[in-house]
Structure 1
Amino acid sequence: MEHKSAIVIAMFGTTVESALQGLLNIWRKMTARYPETPVRIAFTSNIIRKKWRKRAADAAYRQAHPEIPAEIFEVRTVLATIADLQDQGFDDIVLQPTHIAMGEEYLDLGTYVDGLLRMGTVKKAKYKPFHKVVLGRPALGTFGIAHPYGDDILAVAAALAADAELARSAEAALVYMGHGNEHFPSAGAYVELAHRMRQLYPGLLTVIGNVEGFPVLADVAEELQRFGVRKVLLKPFMIVAGDHSVNDMAGPEEDSWKNVLERKGFEVLTAERGLGEIDAFAELFVRNAGEAAADAGITLR
């Protein structure tokens, strides 16, 4: 029996038009790497999908934004996207998230995969809806013995060479604002990445803090002060430079990271560019999808 393969890229999504480039860059690189394999985009955020559906029905908005592809206006949930592919005869699915770390959203996708694989038929196994469904790794890796997470962290550090050079040219420390979370212990991966960045780019101090969970902004400021830093390049450690970047990182509010650091006496430069816009970083997800397929014996073309 011939099995047909497809890739679904699971993204949280964004409503900020300029931030879409971080997501679309990953999608374009995936389609370029596997031109004969359907590559679909799915957004996991209900609120973001609803906003795009509203925009899709607004003819004036669509005319004003010809740069936004139909894939965004028509974006669906992960399960709906996979169901459409199954209806079209695709039974080998590679689900590749664009998450940074193994947090709750990544684990949720794992439950989707488990559920899809348990679907069967009473009569004949060949009529099962899916042959194989696999989940690719987030950027900073996951647990397991096939792909050591430390290798993924080193690959991420290498992919951030352009950011390191930008900070060096400005004679500033590199400060990343990550999302983080308060429920899963993913902070260790951020701390390890900052350490590897310092090793890979000697003379450049890299510090990573999170909007939620450890390390918080106060921890970042304390470390900068400990190293005697006075000037920083502040950048989102997120796939897109979306709402968190526009508001929490560099917004006009008193509690934005930029304003807080400036009140503490730091000179703050900002670079509002999502990680997905960095080609080397986007390629990490393409690699992870390919490795997940290869591990499962799924052919991508």
Structure 2
Amino acid sequence: MKLRSLFLAMIVLLCSAKAPLASEGWKVKHKNAIVLAMFGTTVEPALQGLLNIRTKMMEKYPETPVKIAFTSNIIRKKWQGRAEDPAYSKAHPEIPEDVLHVKTVLATIADLQNIGYDTIVIQPTHIAMGEEFLDLGTYVESLMHLGTVKKEKYKPFHKVVLGRPALGTYGLKHPYAEDITAAAEALAADAELAAKERAALVYMGHGNAHFPSGGAYLELADRMRELYPEVTTLIGNVEGFPSLEDVIDKLKMRGVKKVMLKPCMVVAGDHAMNDMAGTDPEEPSWQMILEKEGFEVVPVKRGLGELDAFAEIFVRHASDATADAEIVMK
């Protein structure tokens, strides 16, 4: 009996010696997620431009969570107020829950990290590289500097990467001129519609008074004129260069009489409804100013995100970011 007990004790001892402690045997399983960083919109129909991009991203990566985040504080607060209003939710059942309860980029990433996602691809839906894109770059840098006094595997994030805006960024990895050409090709439907109208195609971009994004818009317009020579394409910005006045001067030089006016923005939101095609005489819209200058104007209130070909640009840029960082996304 004693011999049997001794034999069992030896077996237990050997098994214990071979079995690692639970903490020592713990292995990190990296989990991937995508955050679409959008300026946002409060105009319900304009959401289609944003949701179309999300749909395309989900189709590309069906096994990966795709979350949306709005960078505009004003727009988020507007949606938060609507979310607390039962009457609004009842009147607008088409609004997705993640729009009603939309959060900041950092809050969205924090929610993902809290449930185990440590590899994040932030894909902006901006047109050009400006202050918001640069802000996102600081987020990525800061998150990747978060460390731990323990082992490397306990860091909050494994990888956080940032995709390019539609018109690209500066650098050697992905030439911005190629991104601009791809964007021009994605806008073929707009050029075709303008050709049917026998009108010049004039885009209203957002622009920026503090960053030289105007050159990218000018290059995009030039590329479109090369690809679609039957249509005069020009782009002006709400802020910065080129302005509407610059566009009007070029239209007159070319002898244009009719203009198809469209937002060079992902959504046809407040800028499209008011600045582009508004009717307030106290704050004349682009359409009103152009008509006063003698042009016939055909407004098209549809954001670029509603064009499947343009929405796919952001999917490709997210794919490039994952490939550059050697992230396997499914």
Short-chain TM bin = over 0.9
In the alignment, structure 1 residue 273 sits paired with structure 2 residue 302: yes
For residues 183-230 of structure 1, give each alpha carbon's deviation from its aligned partner in whole angstroms, at most 9, with x where no partner exists.
011110000000000000012100000000001010000000000000
Letter of the 2:267 partner, please give it.
V
Question: What residue is the counterpart of 1:199 in the other structure?
Answer: 226
Q: Which residue of 2 aligns with 1:91?
A: 118
Aligned sequence identity (%): 69
Please state how far the C-alpha of 1:273 moved relative to its aligned partner. Answer: 0.2
- In the alignment, the residues of structure 2 paired with residue 287 and residue 184 of structure 1 have an alpha-carbon distance, to the nearest angstrom, of 25
Structure 2 residue 315 is matched with structure 1 residue 282? no
- Find 1:187's aligned residue among 187, 203, 214: 214
After TM superposition, the runs of 4+ consecutive aligned structure 1 residues lying more than 6 A away are: none
Paired position in structure 2 for 1:150: 177
Structure-1 separation of matches of 2:170 and 2:117 = 28
TM-align CA RMSD:
0.7
TM-score, structure 2 length as denominator? 0.90
Aligned residues: 301
The structure number with the bigger radius of gyration is: 2
**1:32 shift after superposition:** 1.2
Which secondary structure does the structure 2 equivalent of 1:269 belong to? strand
- Aligned residue for 1:141? 168
Cα deviation for residue 2 of structure 1 reads 2.4
Equivalent-residue separation in structure 1 for 2:328 and 2:76 (angstroms): 30
Question: 259, 281, 292: which is aligned to 1:263?
Answer: 292
3-state SS, counterpart of residue 239 of structure 2: coil
Structure 1 partner of 2:267: 240
In the alignment, which residue of structure 2 is the partner of 1:25? 52
Q: 1:287-298 counterparts in 2 under 5 A?
A: 287-298=316-327
Equivalent of 2:102, from 54, 58, 75?
75
Residue number among 151, 155, 176 corresponding to 1:128 in the alignment: 155
> Residues 111-152 of structure 1: CA distance to partner in whole angstroms, max 9, x if unpaired?
000000000001211110001000000000001111100000
Q: Aligned to 1:9, which of 33, 36, 51? A: 36
Alignment counterpart, residue 240 of structure 2, candidates 197, 204, 213: 213
CA distance in 1, matches of 2:65, 2:325: 18
The match for 1:168 is 195
| 1:207 maps to amino acid | L
Cα deviation, 1:127-183, whole Å, max 9, x if unaligned, reads 100010000000000011111000000000000011000000000000000000010
Secondary structure, counterpart of 1:23 in structure 2: helix
